[in-house]
Amino acid sequence: MAFRCQRDSYAREFTTTVVSCRPAELQTEGSNGKKVLSGFHVVLEDTLLFPEGGGQPDDHGTINDISVLRVTRRGEQADHFTQTPLDPGSQVLVRVDWERRFDHMQQHSGQHLITAVADHLFKLKTTSWELGRFRSAIELDTPSMTTEQVAAIEQSVNEKIRDRLPVNVRELSLDHPEVEQVRGRGLPDDHAGPVRVVSIKGVDSNMCCGTHVSNLSDLQVIKILGTEKGKKNKTNLIFLAGNRVLKWMERSHGTEKALTALLKCGAEDHVEAVKKLQNSTKILQKNNLNLLRDLAVHIAHSLRNSPDWGGVVVLHRKEGDSEFMNIIANEIGSEETLLFLTVGDEKGAGLFLLAGPPASVETLGPRVAEVLEGKGAGKKGRFQGKATKMSRRTEVQALLQDYITTQSTKE
C-alpha cells in the first residue's frame, strides 16, 4: 500500500486515525555524542510523513502539534517516533515540514534525471546515491569522468527542466510486463503489494518509493559541483537541485563580496591576488626562519660565554619552534650541562627541549614532561615535546637543580 505522502507528495496536512501506540526508544547522535530517547512508536491508518527509504531521508512533521522525530517503514506500516503518547482510535491532524519535504522532492527527482541522462549519453550506470544534508552524491560505475562529460550531463538535464517535462507516478502489479522494462536496483525483502514506478516523460521509468515533483520545472535548476573518487573504481557525481542551488549561490556571493573587500579588487582578480599574497607570505616565512636561525646561533654563543654557564641553563622565548631550540642545543654542543629550553605562551601551551648528558636526560625527560603536563620523547641526550602548563617552568628548573646537586654530592 502506498502512503498518502507517496500518492500526493504536494499535500501538506491531512486528518487520519491512530491505529496503535507502543513504548519505543530512539538512538540519536549529536554534538554531545550518542543519546537514547524514550518515547513511542505511533502507527496511523495512513501517513503524510515519508519513512526513510530508497536513499531518501524521512520527513519531519507533527501529529496534533506533537513533533515526530523519526519515521521508519515496517512492512506496510510506518512507525512515527514521538515523545508523547497518542490514543488509539483518536482522530489526529498530521502536518509535514514542507521546506524539508520539497527539498527532498527536488533532490530525489534531480537524481532520477541525472541518472537517466548519464546512462543515455555515456552508458554510465548508477550503483547508489545519497541525499545529503547540504549536497547529494550519485555513485556511477566508472573509475573517472571527464570535465566534458560532466558539462554535457549538466547541460542536458537543465534543458529537460526548461522543457517542463511531466513526472508521473503509477502503481503496477508485480507481474505487469512493464515492470521488467523499468530501471531499478531490486525491491526490499519485505516488499508487499504493487510496484511503484516513477516516470519522467520520454526520459526515464524507475521503480521508486520516494516523493517526487510532478513536473521537472519544479526542479528550477541543477548544478553539478564536480566529481569525487568513490569506492571500488566508482565515481561520485556531486550535485545540487532547486532551492539548494539558490542557497549555494547566496553563500558563494557572500564569500565573493567579503573577498572583494579584503583583497581590494574585483572578483575576476581574486585568484591572482591570493597567489601574490601566498608568494609574499612564503618569502616572509623564509626570511623569518633565517632570522630565527641567526638569532638561535647568537643566543647559543651568548649562553656558552655567560659567567653563569654550567649546571642548569634555562631559556624561554615566546617566539620560536623546535628547530629554533635544536639549533641552540647543537651550537652549544655540551654534554656536561643540563639545557632546558622552552618556547610559547609563558603560562599556557608551548614546546620544550631538555639537552645534556644522555643518562641524565633519559631520567629527567619524562619527569619534565609530567611537571609541564605534556608529552614528549627523546634519544641521545635530547628530550623534547609539547607542554600545556608552561607556568610550571620554575618547578622544572628546581627539579633539574636538585638533580645536579644530588649528583654532585654522590661524586
Q: Which of 6-10, 11-15, 249-253, 405-409 has the lowest mean pLDDT?
A: 405-409
Q: Which long-range contacts (CB under 8 A, 24 or more apart) does 186-190 make?
A: 188/53, 190/75
What is the predicted pLDDT for the residue at 186? 58
20 burial (CB, 10 Å; 0-12 / 13-18 / 19+) is: middle
CB atoms within 10 A of CB 13: 12
190 has a pLDDT exceeding 70:
no
Q: Look at strands 77-82 and 195-200 and give their pairing.
A: unpaired
Lowest mean pLDDT among 24-33, 141-150, 183-192, 223-232: 183-192
Residue 345 has pLDDT above 60, yes or no: yes
CA distances from 352 to 183, 316, 355 (A): 64, 9, 10
Please state which CATH class domain 102-251 belongs to: alpha beta
pLDDT for position 51: 94
Strand, coil or helix: 153: helix
| Residue given cell 546515491 in the structure block | 129
Average pLDDT value over all residues in the chain = 92
* Residue 30 reports pLDDT greater than 80: no
pLDDT at 307 over 90: no
4-96: in CATH 1.20.1250.20: no
Per-residue pLDDT, 29: 83
**Distances in Å between the alpha carbon of 120 and those of 168, 213, 261?**
20, 22, 45
Give residue 24's pLDDT band: very low, low, confident or very high (50, 70, 90): very high
Residue 162 DSSP code: H
The rounded percent of the chain whose pLDDT value lies above 70 is 95
pLDDT at 1 (0 to 100): 63
Sorted by sequence, the CB contacts under 8 Å of residue 178 that are 6+ apart come out as: 172, 197, 205
What average pLDDT does the segment 225-251 reach?
A: 96
* Per-residue pLDDT at 172: 83
**Tens-place pLDDT, residues 143-188:** 999 999 999 999 999 999 999 999 999 988 776 767 666 766 555 5
Q: Map residue 337 onto helix, strand or coil.
A: coil
Q: How deeply is 406 buried, as exposed, middle or buried, from its count of CB atoms within 10 A (0-12, 13-18, 19+)?
A: exposed
Q: Provide the pairing of β-strand 312-317 with 167-172.
A: unpaired
- Could you tell me the pLDDT band of residue 411, with boundaries at 50, 70 and 90? low
Domains 4-96 and 102-251 share a fold: no
Query: Residue 243 in contact with residue 228, Cβ under 8 Å?
Result: no
Report which of residues 29 and 93 the model is more confident about: 93
Rounded distance between C-alpha atoms, residue 378 and residue 358, angstroms = 10
Q: Does the domain spanning 290-409 belong to CATH 3.10.310.40?
A: yes
What is the reported pLDDT for 55? Answer: 85
Euclidean distance between CA atoms 403 and 271, whole angstroms: 58
Check if the beta carbon of residue 369 is closer than 8 Å to that of residue 385.
yes
- Model confidence band, residue 319 (pLDDT cutoffs 50, 70, 90): confident
pLDDT in tens, 62-106: 999 999 999 999 988 999 999 999 999 999 999 999 999 999 999
Bridge partners (DSSP) of residue 339 are 313, 355
Model confidence band, residue 334 (pLDDT cutoffs 50, 70, 90): low
Q: Can you read off the three cell numbers belonging to residue 307?
A: 659567567
**Helix spans in 198-321 (H):** 243-263, 270-304
What percentage of the chain has pLDDT greater than the value 90? 75
All 3 cell numbers of residue 381?
641526550
User: Domain spans of the chain?
Assistant: 4-96, 102-251, 290-409
Q: Rounded to an integer, what distance in angstroms lies between the CA atom of residue 109 and that of residue 168? A: 11
